[in-house]
Amino acid sequence: MNRYRDQLSKNELMTRYVLIDPFLRLLGWDVENPELVRPEFSTTAGRPDYALLFEGRPTAFIGAKSLGKQEDLQQYISYCVSEGVKYFIATDGAKWEIYDTQILKPLTEKRIAEWDITRDEPGEVLRRSFILFRYSPFMGVAPEPLTRPEIAKPSKRTVEAGVSLTSIKPRHGLDMKFREIVFPDGTRYELKKWRDILLGVVEWLIASNRLTREKVPVKAGRKRYLVNIEPKHVYGENFKDPKKLSGYYVECNYGVPSIFRYAIMLLRDFGVDPGGVYLG
């Protein structure tokens, strides 16, 4: 890596061939077997550089860059969301980062493992990289993405998994008994507080490329914004309870009824049937 750094920093294909492919082989992934590793995997959102397959279906996507370059993390979340793939890996051959796309946190906090071959001790690299070992529990079956007809009419399995967002009658003081919010493509986010419903909706809309910078700010009334790129309302008043998600700010200073109202409003405004979103 050090000897050929100058060339590797200018050539992504060389980085993949010299650094990434050999490391994947060490972890049990035969890069010459398309039943295990498939390059330039086609999705509705684009083409991740690699897909790691389990029983013929992708369980993780890999975004590769030339040595020293950074991957577009948001882009890879959209790939994962479009296919129901839970994990993605960003690497330049030296630094490896593993992300769980279904964690309800800001993008940078979705990272569940990382290592740097040039900086960390070999034993530490081995310990951390075991998460990518082909036979580890991490490499289980990826959640099956719903087809378009299933999105329009939720399957029995989805219905049994929880309660539709639109079937709940929210009120102040209602106990939080739900643990996750489930979207039509199978993406799940953890719930701890009522506001996590609103945050989960915003995070999913961002991850699925429905909510983009061209479509903000999103209004919550004549004088207030619900989502903005800065924590300020229409006339410059600061958000009272701002939460930052992937470069956007969400106003969370709402009671339970308003949280449901704005979550449903957002879904409908961005072309998603809120009846197909479930709490479980």
Q: Where are the beta strands (DSSP E) in 198-279?
A: 218-219, 225-228, 242-245, 248-251, 278-279
- Containing 182, the helix (H) or strand (E) segment is strand 180-182
pLDDT value of residue 116: 94
Query: Which amino acid is residue 114, in one-letter code?
Result: E
Domain that holds residue 63: 5-132
pLDDT value of residue 154: 37
pLDDT value of residue 137: 53
Shared domain for 79 and 106, answered yes or no, is yes
Q: Kindly list the averaged pLDDT for each block of 10 residues, start to end, along the chain of length 280.
A: 91 95 93 92 84 88 91 75 84 93 75 90 88 68 37 36 80 85 86 93 90 91 92 93 91 93 93 87
pLDDT value of residue 156: 36
Total number of domains constituting the chain: 2
Residue 139 covered by a domain: no
Q: Which of 101, 132, 163 is the last residue of a domain?
A: 132
DSSP annotation of 201 reads H
Question: Dihedrals φ, ψ of 12, to 5°?
Answer: -65, -40
160, 206 Cβ separation under 8 angstroms: no
Mode of pairing for the β-strands spanning 188-190 and 95-100 = unpaired
Shared domain for 16 and 126, answered yes or no, is yes
- Containing 25, the helix (H) or strand (E) segment is helix 21-26
Question: Rounded to an integer, what distance in angstroms lies between the CA atom of residue 99 and that of residue 76?
Answer: 10
Q: Which of 85, 106, 132 is the last residue of a domain?
A: 132
pTM strictly above 0.85: no
Q: Which of 273, 221, 211, 196 is nearest to 248 (CA)?
A: 211
